Chains A and B, each alone.
Chain A
Amino acid sequence: MIYQGKQRIWSEYQKEIPTDHWFYVRSCIRQSFFPASEKTFLEILRDRLGKDVYETPHHTTCGGIAYHSEAIPQETVMTIIARQFALMTEAGYENYVCSCITSFGLYSEVIEDWREFPELLAKIRENLWKATRREFKIPTYLAHASDLIYKFRNQIAEQAKFRLVNKATGEPLRVVEHIGCHYSKMFPSKGVGGAEYPYVLAGMVESWGGEVIDYPERRHCCGFGFRQYLVKANRGYSVSNTHKKFESMEPFKPDMIITNCPGCPYFLDRWQYVIAEQTGKTYGENGYGIPVFTYEEVAGLVLGYNPWDLGLQTHQVAVEPLLDKMGIPYKPEDKYKGPRGELLQRPDFPMNIKCC
């Protein structure tokens, strides 16, 4: 692997990301499975970096998952998106940042379609007006939340309490980055670093001291596949794709996985559990899995957040071995505590994959 070759490509795909005044929309999956990640994102931006990030209680799903499961027509999803944009316009913002990769891809696609087919845009304006009496402007800048963390990765590094380094050996941690398919595969220029070697997560990992490892199936989808997961009969597809990725990364012995899509960490985490329970195979050291994180969680860890405030206890693959490696202190007894410090009954141990 020739690193300079990648650098050259990264330098060609640098998207413009404004530094402030963002209209923020949440992700259905991220808030359901990683609610603390969104909280962390807002805290870092607002409190640590002093940025203006606005959230309205009226915003909803973008409809992306429903759209990609063919539960709603294209016109519907476009109109829902138009409503989101209308909320942004009404709030006086022009920069739109979303937490979800499916949303991000869909927004990019929709904006591109509207640009190419003005009659379609007119139709959607009409639909929105008919349904909600709202009007909208297309955002000037569209970003995924990971773009912002990437943008401020060096500021975060400056405030870092911990680094992605094995404290015992001083070696950088070996990090696998997994980019959501809809981040840049459709529009390489809309993602930091393009489609083949996206730099959005790699940049964070490098800034925070880790080493990015590239393995053959890096670009492969996690296997969510919308209906391929949502309908139980299809989940063989989903787990098989994840399995393919893990088989490919296994020889590289990664310490952790970082993701920017809300669904991928859930699948990369849970399918490890399913594979272990079905076949007995685990991919981490000593019978553990390879811990999977959202980029917000990683940023939070670097900045010294309490792992249990970051929601790492909701991961099925145990994170403790990694926390130990990084030298992050944590209280095991706090892991399964409720909001007021009350002890909740701890989860069962799985059979084949080691947990703490």
Chain B
Amino acid sequence: MQIPQPDIVALSSVALLVSTFGVVVRRSFAGWLSAYRYQSIVLAGSTGLIAYATGVWEIYAAAVLTLLVKAIVIPRLLVRVTEGVNDEFKIEANPYVSIRLSVLISALLVALSYALVQEILPSAGLDGLAAAAYLPVSLSLFFIGLFVMVSRRMALNQVVGLLIIENGLFLFTTALTNGVSLIIEVGILADILVGVMISSLLLLRMNQTFDTLDIGRLEKLKDD
């Protein structure tokens, strides 16, 4: 196999990071969703790229599935679910970590993931791999997603953070193992879908029971 213009890979990974930062900097639910949708599309594209590079047909399928599920189904679902939700809970008014600081930290996390990959790569002989460039990106997707979940107090924001993590995961999987068996891929995607469904169900319940989506209010269960 020979690699197509690697600058595409570079571009796409940059695009992915940018979209992630989009989630970090935007304050409103709509903003996160659009960022996420954008990211998913790029993700599907880069998956296709990997598929083209490796020529494994399963990855094409995976790419298509990604496009369908992540770029279309999940955002729709979330929008549908949150129709009833009061607008004040769709805006991250005062996160635990200020936006500016979050951006800095996310940048650090990106650096960290690059460092980690750099540490593993040579020893692991990953350099030959087509999708090697995606590894640090996927790791940083993961870390940033986690950081979003840590630093934000809106339930919706956490869901989005989770979704970003999943994207990172997906990218990592496809990039590293040239497409594991399709069953697994499907299984994973199904899991994510169900996960999102259940969490949106929970969101509804939460909205009914606490009439808020501010998880700062979910602190009843603790030891004292």
Query: Is B a genuine binding partner of A?
Result: no
| B residues lining the A interface (CB < 8 Å) | none
| A interface with B by C-beta (< 8 Å) | none
